[in-house]
Structure 1
Amino acid sequence: MKATERYRIDHTLVSPALARLALRLALIMLTVCVLAFADLAAGEAMNAGPSVDSSVSFTFLDVGQGDAILVSTSDGHHMLVDGGTRAAGPRVVARLLELGVEHLDVLVSTHPHEDHIGGLTDVLNAVTVGRVID
């Protein structure tokens, strides 16, 4: 495939690198969601997991370099995957509060790189967290 070729995703042309990144993020998110919510259902908080009728939404927070992804169910459960850099922490907190998120059922740290966990200190100081997965 030539570097100039593009993929069409939702009627928008994107570069192959961006398409690979989107696919990678989607697969990571699916895996994290299945593991995190299955872990909740298997633990003592069995009734705290999402209901069968709930839907799931993903909000990709703008943290510049790094990741911060909010996974929410329609019945009010929230999971944050990573928190961006330390400098992005206040923006992550502001966006969570803007979205009405004052409690995270699950906080996931995918790996200990600054651009993924740097902002989590601000998140932990601002909202309550039920379970941390690292």
Structure 2
Amino acid sequence: MLHGIGFTSIPLAVAMVVLAAVTNLFMGGASSKWLIMAPVFIPMFMQMGFSPEYTQVAYRIGDSTTNVITPLMTYFPIIASFAARYEEKNGPKIGIGTVISIMMPYTFFFLGGWIVMFIIWSMLNLPLGPGAAIML
């Protein structure tokens, strides 16, 4: 079906990045998200000719960039407590919403930058690592 509508190659991989980023906002653990997404996306990408490593790179970009703004992340309370400790001495009280709003521009900057680098890497067909090509 994806071949039929022309949704292949780089647009499909970028859609995977965005889906992983959005999913990360609602589900905290990286391994649990990958456990749900991998059985669907790895075979789908392999049928399109992409290696499983390429699928995981797309997932990891989306997952890593939104970690700092998801309250479900394991270390988010630690980040919020460090921010609150700093702000109590130097200004107004800081909470979860403030931490998320402060980190939002960084999230979008990193997500956009990683997607651009991912597209360039894909267009140049560079290997992902030793023995790990983009295409099967």
Greater Rg over alpha carbons, structure: 2
Q: Kindly indicate which of the two structures has a greater share of residues assigned to helix.
A: 2
- The reply to whether TM is greater than 0.5 is no
TM-score between the two structures when normalised by the length of structure 1: 0.24
Structure number with the bigger relative contact order (C-alpha 8 A, sep ≥ 6) is 2
Q: Kindly indicate which of the two structures has a greater share of residues assigned to strand.
A: 1
TM-score between the two structures when normalised by the length of structure 2: 0.24
